[in-house]
Amino acid sequence: MGGFFKSSIGRKVAMALSAFFLMFFLLQHLAINSLSVFSPEMFNEVSHFMGTNPVVQFALQPVLIFAVVFHFVMGFILELKNRRAVGVTYAKNNGSANSSWASRNMIYSGLVVLAFFVLHFIDFWIPELNVKYIQGDMSGLLEGTQEFRYFEELQHKFHSHIRTIAYVISFVLLGLHLAHGFTSAFQSMGGTAGRKTALKNIGKAYSILIPLGFIFVALYHHFKYVLS
């Protein structure tokens, strides 16, 4: 196993696998968040299930956190090794003529996306841990009511103009990161043979629609509060 991660191919495969997992998580996360727009009651029900289900909390959640950390650490390692390997020759080449802006700046968009994940954890995950495991409240109810608290907490987070703008910018850069990362992950797994154009189109659609969906949810709750 140690030799696998020491090889260039091994690191790229591991990076691709973590990318697939995170892309699936983004799709699932968007599906749940979209419920807050179309059915707050269902959003509350699904959020409570996800927040109290032991498989999600003690098996899938640690895997998700590990995947996030692993993906970005491995990405930075690969970027540094690629820059060292290319060396002076890279400076002589016109990179913009042979690759997209997204592919040349993956490390920078990755840093912003990582910062977004940290902000997201501070906004939602850490307060949730505090309520459930420090305060000991597993009911998920608003204080003094019989209604779940998740929808109201989500809306409250997007009252702030600054926070909403930060989320929108982060999702735009997430889209740029995904624009190159989607096809790159399949290429690392050898899945682009004869399907490169189709995968590029699917990747382009994914990298636009997923961030756009998150932006819509954020702006919906923000303007709903502003106009109320």
Residues 90/83, Cβ–Cβ less than 8 Å: yes
Question: pLDDT at position 93, please?
Answer: 47
pLDDT in tens, 208-218: 999 999 999 99
CB contact at 8 A, 118 and 112: no
Taking residue 185's Cβ as centre, other Cβ atoms within 10 Å add up to 24
Q: Output the pTM of the full model.
A: 0.84
- Three-class DSSP category at 192: coil
**55-64, 75-84, 143-152, range with the lowest pLDDT:** 75-84
Q: What is the dihedral of CA 134, 135, 139, 142, to 10 degrees?
A: -130
Greater confidence, 80 or 64?
Answer: 64
65: amino acid identity, one letter: I
Write out pLDDT tens, residues 111-125: 888 888 888 888 888
**Domains plus CATH for the chain?**
2-86+104-227 (1.20.1300)
